[in-house]
Structure 1
Amino acid sequence: MSSSPVSMDDLPLTRFHCRIAGLTYGAHLTDGYVLGVIGYAMIQLQPQMQLTSLQEGLIGGSALFGLFLGSLILGWISDYTGRQRIFTFSFLLITLASFLQFFVTTPEQLIFLRILIGFGLGGDYSVGHTLLAEFSPKRYRGMLLGAFSVVWTIGYVLASVAGYAWINIAPDAWRWLLASAALPALIITLMRIGTPESPRWLMRQGRITEAHEVVRRFLGANVLPGDEISAVTTRHISTLFSARYWRRTAFNSLFFICLVVPWFVIYTWLPTIAQSIGLEAALSASLILNMLLIAGALLGLLLTWMLSRRQFLIGSFLLLAITLSVLAFTPSSNSIAILLLFTLFSMTISAASNLVGILPAESFPTDIRSLGVGFATSMSRLGAAISTGLLPLALTTWGMRTTLLLLVAVLLVGLLVSILWAPETKNLSLVEAAQQKTQGKENEHSVGV
C-alpha cells in the first residue's frame, strides 16, 4: 500500500536537506574566512605597501562592497533564471579571484579582486538562503537557516587561527593567507555539481512536471511541492517598495544593517582595536574572542528554537546596545572588564546573527525571494563596507569612545525598527510567512502573495 501524499513543508529532516544545507553553508564558511583573514594580512600589508588610512579602509571594505553588488544583481537575476545556475557560477568566480590574490603587487589590484570575491559571495548569499528556505520543512527551517551564522563563525575563527599562526612566519605570509580561501571555494564548487533546481521556483514558472520530478527524485515519490499559488508577482526591484512589501523590505534591510555594522567594524579591525583599548597580547585576545563567536552562534541556534523571532531580535539589540555603552566608558586600564564586555558582546551578536539568515528568506514570496534577500543583504553590506572603511579615520579623528557610541546609536536604530516592524514567522510555511504582516499596519492587500 502506498503512503499518503505529504507536502514538502511537513517532511521530517532528511539526508537530502542536510546535503543542501551543507552546500549552501559553503558560502558562509568562505565568507567568514575571507573577511576574517584580511585583518591579519593587513598587519604585513600596511608597512609593505605603505598604505594610507584611505587605502586600508578600501581594502578592508572592498569585499563588503562586492557583496553589496553581488547580492543585489545576482539575487535579481536568479529570480528570472533559477537558483541553480547562480549557485554554480558564484563559486567559480570566488575560486579564481581568491587564487589571484597571491600575485597582487598594488593596493588597487587587491581591492579589485576582493570586490570580485564579494560579488560572488553576495550572489551566493541571496541564492543560498533562498534555495535552502525553499527546500526546508517549516519545522526545521529556522534551525537550518540560522545555522548559517554558526558556519560563518567557524570560517571566521579558522581565518583567525590561520592568521595568528602564519602572519609572523615570513614577510609574504599575507599572500598565502589571502589565497588560501581558494581551496575551500574550489572544493565547494566541485561538490555543487548536480544540485537540483528549486521546485518552488519551477512551480512559479509553470514547469509543474519538472517540479514534481525534482521532488520525487530527491524527497520521495509521495511528496508534493509546496503550496505555491498561481498568481505571479512582478519581478522588479520597485515591487519591493510597493504598498504590499515596503515595510518588510525596510525592516529586513534596516535590522540587517544595524546588526552587521557593529559586527564588521569591530571584527574586521579586532587586532587593531584590541591594541587601541589596551589589551595585552592583542592578537591572543582577539583570537580568544573569535573563538567565543562559535559558542555564541550555537547558543543562537538554541534560542532560535526556543524563542519567537521578535523576542530574540529585540532582546539582542537591547543587550548589545547596553554592552557597548558600558564598554565605551570603561577605562582602558581595566583590561579584565574590557575582556568580559567583549565576551558578552561577541556571544550576543553571534547568537543574534542567526536571524539574518532566517527573517529575510521568510519575508518574501517565491517570485521575488532572491531579490528581497539580495536587497536586504546588499544594503547591509553597503552599510558595513562604508562603516568599516571609515573606521580608521573615525578612530584617528574622534577616538575609541566616540566611535563605540556611534555604534550604540546604530544598535538603537535596529532596536526601534524591530519593535515597530518585526513580523513573527516562526513555524509558518513559506507562503504563510510571506503573507504575515509586519507589526506596522500594512496595506490591506498585503495578505496576497
Structure 2
Amino acid sequence: MTVLSARIERLPFSGFHRRLLLIGGLGYTFDAMDAAVIAFVLPVLRTAWNLDSGQVGVLASANFIGFFFGALLAGSLGDLIGRRMVMMSALAVYCVASFFSAMVNDWNSFLVLRVLAGLGTGAESVIIAPYLSEFVARRYRGRFTGALAGFFSFGFVAAALLGYLIVPASEDGWRIVILITAAPVLMLLWWRRVLPESPRWLESQGRNAEADAIVAAMEHAIVRGGQPLPALDPHDVAAAPPSRERGGLLKNYATLLSRRLLPTTSMTWLMWLSITFSYYTFFTWIPSLLVQNGMTMTKSFGYSLVMYLAQVPGYFSAAWLNDRIGRQATIVSYMLMGMLAALGMAFARGDAQIMAAGVLLSFFLNGTYAGVYAYTPEVFPTQVRATGAGLASAIGRIGGITAPILVGYVYPKLGFAGVFGTTTAALLMGSAAVWIMGVPTRGRSLEDIATEKIS
C-alpha cells in the first residue's frame, strides 16, 4: 500500500463520505427510474401503437442494448481518462436522449432514443461504484458501496409510484413520466463543483501532486468537522511505492484476460450475467405478466409497487451483511434464497401467492446487487478497475437484453413456470461461480487484494 492509500484507509467515515454517497446515490436513483419506468410504459404503448409481443420485448431490451455499449465505453475510458469526466458526460447523454424519447410518436424513433438513453445510464452505472469505492477505507467499504447500490431501490419505487399514479391518469401520462426521468441534468451543475477525481487513479497515472491535494482536502474537511485524524498504520505504509505502469485500451483488456486475472474476470462475468438476467426477467415484465395473467392494469401496477418496495430492505440488509459475513457469502446466500423465491413464483396459484413470492424475489435479487456492486470493483487492480467492472457489467447486460425478448416468446408457451424456471437456473449458475471462483475481500485494502491477484 502506498502512503497516499494508507492516508485514505485511516480516514473515519465523515460528512465528506456522506456527500459522496448522496451524489453517487442520486445517480443510481435516476438510472433505476429510467430502467424501471419502461415496464409501466410498455402496456400503454402496446395498445397505443398496436405493438405485437415481439416488438414489446425489443423495446424492453432497448435500454439494455445501449447499456451494454455504455458499460464497455465507460469502463475503458474510466481507466484511461479518469472516473469523474466519464460520470458527468454519461449523465448528460442519458438526460438528452430521455427528454427527446418523450416527444416521439412511433416505435422506431422511440427504440433508437431508448438505446441512446441506455448508453448514458450504462456508462454512469458502471463508473460510480469503482469511482467512489476508491475514496473509502476497507473497514466500511462494503457497507458504503452496498448502501450506494441501495439507492437503486429508491429509483424503482419512484418509477412504480409514477407508473401507478401518472401513467394511467391521462393519454400522455407516459410522456410526463419519461420527462421526469430526464430531470437529473440539473445535477451536472452540482457535480461539476463538488466532485474530485479519484486520488487512487491519479496516483496510478503518476499525477501525485493532484492526488495529494485531494486527500489533503479530505483530511482537512474531517478535522474541520471535529473528528480526530488517526495516525497512519505503520503496516500500511511499509509497502511498495506507487505503480508507474501505464495501460492502454488493448493492454488493459489483455491484463483482464491474463493467467492471473482470468479466473476473477470469468467469475465476475458469470455473476453479472446471472443476476442481470434474473433481475430483468422479473422487473421488466412483471406488470405486463400480471395483466396477461388476468389482473387489471391498475391492480397489476399496485402489486408491482409493493414488490418494488421490497427492494429497499433487500438492498440495505445486504449492505449491512457485506461487512459482517463478507461480499462472497452475501451474494451466494441472497442468490440461493432468490432461487427459492423464483421457484415459488413459478408454481404460485392465486394473487396472494404471487404477491408473496414476488416480494421475496424482489428482496433477494436486489440484496444480491448490493453485494455485486461492492464486490466487483474490489477484485480488480486500480489500473484496470473501471475496465474490469465495465466489462463485467456489459456481459451482464447481455442477460438484460435477452431476458425481456426471451420472456416475450416463452410466456405464451410455458407461462409463469417457464419464465421463473429459467430464473432459477440462472441464479444457481451465478451462486456457484461466486462460491467456487471468488476471492475474499472483507477487511482488506484494495491494494492488498490487487497485490494478491497480480503477484
TM-score by length of 1: 0.91
How far the C-alpha of 1:429 sits from its partner, in A, is: 0.7
- 1:402 matches 2:418: yes
Structure 2 counterpart SS, 1:180: helix
Match of 2:38 in 1: 38
Match of 1:296 in 2: 314
**After the TM superposition, which of the residue ranges 393-402 and 163-172 deviates more from structure 2?**
393-402
Task: Quote the Cα distance in structure 1 between the aligned partners of 2:78 and 2:185.
Answer: 22
Amino acid corresponding to residue 316 of structure 2 in structure 1: L
Match of 2:10 in 1: 10
How far the C-alpha of 1:231 sits from its partner, in A, is: 4.6
Task: Quote the Cα distance in structure 1 between the aligned partners of 2:320 and 2:206.
Answer: 38
- 1:313 matches 2:331: yes
How far the C-alpha of 1:434 sits from its partner, in A, is: 2.5
How far the C-alpha of 1:27 sits from its partner, in A, is: 2.4
CA shift digits 1:182-210 (9 cap, x unpaired): 11x21322221132111111111111111
Task: Quote the Cα distance in structure 2 between the aligned partners of 1:404 and 1:127.
Answer: 31
Residue pairs, 1:73-84, within 5 angstroms: 73-84=73-84
Task: Quote the Cα distance in structure 1 between the aligned partners of 2:336 and 2:316.
Answer: 20
Task: Quote the Cα distance in structure 2 between the aligned partners of 1:144 and 1:161.
Answer: 27
Residue pairs, 1:12-411, within 5 angstroms: 12-183=12-183, 185-194=184-193, 195-220=195-220, 229-232=242-245, 234-235=247-248, 236-277=252-293, 281-330=299-348, 332=349, 334-411=350-427
Give the conservation status (yes or no) of the 8 Å contact 2:331–2:372.
no
Give the conservation status (yes or no) of the 8 Å contact 2:378–2:446.
yes
Task: Quote the Cα distance in structure 2 between the aligned partners of 1:250 and 1:358.
Answer: 17
How far the C-alpha of 1:275 sits from its partner, in A, is: 3.1
Using a 3 Å threshold, how does the CA distance of structure 1 residues 343 and 244 change in structure 2: closer, same or farther?
A: same
Task: Quote the Cα distance in structure 1 between the aligned partners of 2:202 and 2:328.
Answer: 32
Using a 3 Å threshold, how does the CA distance of structure 1 residues 218 and 302 change in structure 2: closer, same or farther?
A: closer
**After the TM superposition, which of the residue ranges 18-27 and 56-65 deviates more from structure 2?**
18-27
Q: How many residues align?
A: 432
Using a 3 Å threshold, how does the CA distance of structure 1 residues 64 and 171 change in structure 2: closer, same or farther?
A: same
CA shift digits 1:255-277 (9 cap, x unpaired): 11111211111111111222345
Task: Quote the Cα distance in structure 2 between the aligned partners of 1:279 and 1:149.
Answer: 32
Task: Quote the Cα distance in structure 2 between the aligned partners of 1:263 and 1:257.
Answer: 10
Structure 2 counterpart SS, 1:258: helix
How far the C-alpha of 1:338 sits from its partner, in A, is: 2.4
How far the C-alpha of 1:310 sits from its partner, in A, is: 2.1
Give the conservation status (yes or no) of the 8 Å contact 1:254–1:414.
yes
How far the C-alpha of 1:178 sits from its partner, in A, is: 1.3
Identity of aligned residues (%): 25
CA shift digits 1:275-328 (9 cap, x unpaired): 345567222111111112112222222222322222212222221222222332
Instruction: Structure 1: give runs of 5+ residues left out of the alignment.
Output: 437-445
Give the conservation status (yes or no) of the 8 Å contact 1:279–1:285.
no
Task: Quote the Cα distance in structure 1 between the aligned partners of 2:149 and 2:88.
Answer: 21
Amino acid corresponding to residue 245 of structure 2 in structure 1: V
Give the conservation status (yes or no) of the 8 Å contact 2:307–2:362.
yes
Give the conservation status (yes or no) of the 8 Å contact 1:252–1:359.
no
How far the C-alpha of 1:164 sits from its partner, in A, is: 0.3
Task: Quote the Cα distance in structure 2 between the aligned partners of 1:130 and 1:329.
Answer: 39
Task: Quote the Cα distance in structure 1 between the aligned partners of 2:90 and 2:97.
Answer: 11
Task: Quote the Cα distance in structure 2 between the aligned partners of 1:62 and 1:140.
Answer: 36
Task: Quote the Cα distance in structure 1 between the aligned partners of 2:341 and 2:182.
Answer: 37
Amino acid corresponding to residue 18 of structure 2 in structure 1: C
Match of 2:226 in 1: none
CA shift digits 1:46-92 (9 cap, x unpaired): 11111122221121111111111011112101211111211221111
Task: Quote the Cα distance in structure 2 between the aligned partners of 1:286 and 1:382.
Answer: 24
Task: Quote the Cα distance in structure 2 between the aligned partners of 1:318 and 1:78.
Answer: 33
Task: Quote the Cα distance in structure 2 between the aligned partners of 1:205 and 1:283.
Answer: 49
Give the conservation status (yes or no) of the 8 Å contact 2:70–2:120.
yes
Task: Quote the Cα distance in structure 1 between the aligned partners of 2:271 and 2:149.
Answer: 16
TM-score by length of 2: 0.90
Amino acid corresponding to residue 348 of structure 1 in structure 2: F
Task: Quote the Cα distance in structure 1 between the aligned partners of 2:401 and 2:174.
Answer: 21
- 1:433 matches 2:446: no
Match of 1:441 in 2: none
Give the conservation status (yes or no) of the 8 Å contact 1:90–1:120.
yes
Give the conservation status (yes or no) of the 8 Å contact 1:196–1:214.
yes
Across the aligned residues of Structure 1 and Structure 2, the Cα RMSD in angstroms comes to 2.1
Using a 3 Å threshold, how does the CA distance of structure 1 residues 72 and 306 change in structure 2: closer, same or farther?
A: same
Task: Quote the Cα distance in structure 2 between the aligned partners of 1:57 and 1:239.
Answer: 36
Give the conservation status (yes or no) of the 8 Å contact 1:16–1:219.
no
**After the TM superposition, which of the residue ranges 186-195 and 158-167 deviates more from structure 2?**
186-195
CA shift digits 1:368-415 (9 cap, x unpaired): 111001011111112111112221111123322122111111111112
